[in-house]
Structure 1
């Protein structure tokens, strides 16, 4: 997974920026924000807009999705190595993106599970339940929680 990542800059301790270079140059940003619940930190990701906001629904279609996702995973590894007690929450901004993240976690589970405990959140009525991530489970996930093993 470490092969072919974009170089990135870390600013303000919890913001990471890199440039996707494909059909065009697109500035991407990953931001980690404390939720105020336990040690849970939300990981947001998307295209950096001129006003400083992040468009997490943008479909850049820039031809470099594998490199962008590999870079984002490397940023997650960097952040959790700096803050090993943080539990990182993320979900897709759309159901399709959550399915994409599920496929990535299934594909690389053997690798990820060496460094991280991976849990999923499922919704039951008004409640959310944490379960261990099972790559072969075929249930609808709301989001994911990842914590570095130390």
Structure 2
């Protein structure tokens, strides 16, 4: 993925990444966390992403920053997924947006980079009608799982 992306700080022992979005709304701290949500029969980590809220000392995944750098932000998030899976090749990453439109945005980006993703030894499945299916362009999914091919 040759998309322009932000440089990020990585804290591997905490499965934590942070970077700063820069645009007309200023410089905004973004956080990506990977949290274990399932161990058996295999490990699945949830991808959590949002703006850092100083007041709450927590991540806000509902805020719409609109800093006019959406593609760069999404490319940065995608790069952390690749980095996380490179460091943990035996796990899967679960992703679902905090809203339906954000999940759709994830899907549009998976579709846009589908050739690179599928050529790079990754398997992506989408959740639809209460079952996991191989990812296909043009199908609306509710969530996604990505893992390295074994």
After TM superposition, the score normalised by the length of structure 1 is: 0.90
1:146: which partner in 2? 146
Deviation, 1:106, is 1.3
Aligned residues: 144
Write the deviation string for residues 64-107 of structure 1: whole angstroms up to 9, x where unpaired.
11111111111111111000111100011111111111111112
Q: Is the 8 A contact 1:39 1:86 kept in 2?
A: yes
Task: State the distance in 1 between where 2:5 and 2:109 align.
Answer: 16
Ranges in structure 1 where 5+ consecutive residues have no aligned partner: none
- Aligned residue for 2:48, secondary structure, equals strand
Cα gap change, 1:3 to 1:95, in 2 (>3 Å): closer
Deviation, 1:3, is 4.1
Ranges in structure 2 where 5+ consecutive residues have no aligned partner: none
Task: State the distance in 2 between where 1:3 and 1:120 align.
Answer: 23
Write the deviation string for residues 38-62 of structure 1: whole angstroms up to 9, x where unpaired.
2111001000111331111111000
Q: Is the 8 A contact 1:40 1:87 kept in 2?
A: yes
> Counterparts of 1:95-110 in structure 2 under 5 Å?
95-110=100-115
Task: State the distance in 1 between where 2:125 and 2:3 align.
Answer: 26
